[in-house]
Amino acid sequence: MGAVTGAGAVGPGPFFTVRTGPGEPRAEGFVPLAQVYAGRPSPALTGRVAEVGRRLRTSERRVAGSLAHQGLAARLWSVALGPAALTGRMPDLSGGRLWWHPGRSTPDELWLPDDVPDVPAGRLREDVLHGHLVPLCAAVHAVSGVAPGLLWGNAASALAGTLRVLHSWCLGEGARPEAAARAVALTEELMTDPLLRDAGDLRLSGAGAPAYARRSCCLYYRVPGGGLCGDCALR
């Protein structure tokens, strides 16, 4: 397991890492993530939504779909934004390079089995937002009926949450203030995209932790024992 960056493991923790190295991903139950979005509803995605529903003890497919989507969106942001902030470059996540295991949890569910080149951090919007999250949103909507506006709120909230963790580590244990500033700048630029711009408000206060207030709800409050998230519009 390792981070996909020439700088070595990304420090904030396993959420920012992805399995790398050769192997037989299909034999271990992995599927190319791009195939999950292609064409008719994917059995892998349908199964993942069902598994999330079982784990959270909810029979509401919209709730399970929303939370499955938010978790995967957060992982996609983290494995790209982490190295982008720390090194100015990120792994090339385009095409079918990234494999996903619908039955595993972080950090064991993502794998880059082939050598992957680094690309400039400016590819975040193209590769992650438009290359992965646009088709993921459509696929989750198709299998669970979650409204697209809610799903884009999830994507924006996941980006803001990734920024908070990364920013805190860079200003604390990581001692990388320049990387914290780069993470903020990259996130601010991403939030100008029309898909994310109206999903909520990102608030920055000097060296303080970034805060986000979304205009939708991920539906976690409908899970038995759940509640309202810190950035929820229902607060």
Least confident piece of the model among 3-12, 147-156, 194-203? 3-12
What distance in Å separates the CA atoms of residue 186 and residue 199, rounded to the nearest whole number? 17
Q: What is the mean pLDDT of the chain?
A: 92
Largest CA distance in the chain: 48
What are the domain boundaries of the chain? 14-222
Rounded Cα distance between 6 and 227, Å, is 40
Question: Which of the pair, 116 or 28, is modelled with greater confidence?
Answer: 28
pLDDT per position as a tens digit, 49-100? 999 999 999 999 999 999 999 999 999 999 999 999 999 999 999 888 999 9
pLDDT of residue 8: 41
Residue among 205, 145, 209, 202 at smallest CA distance from 171: 209
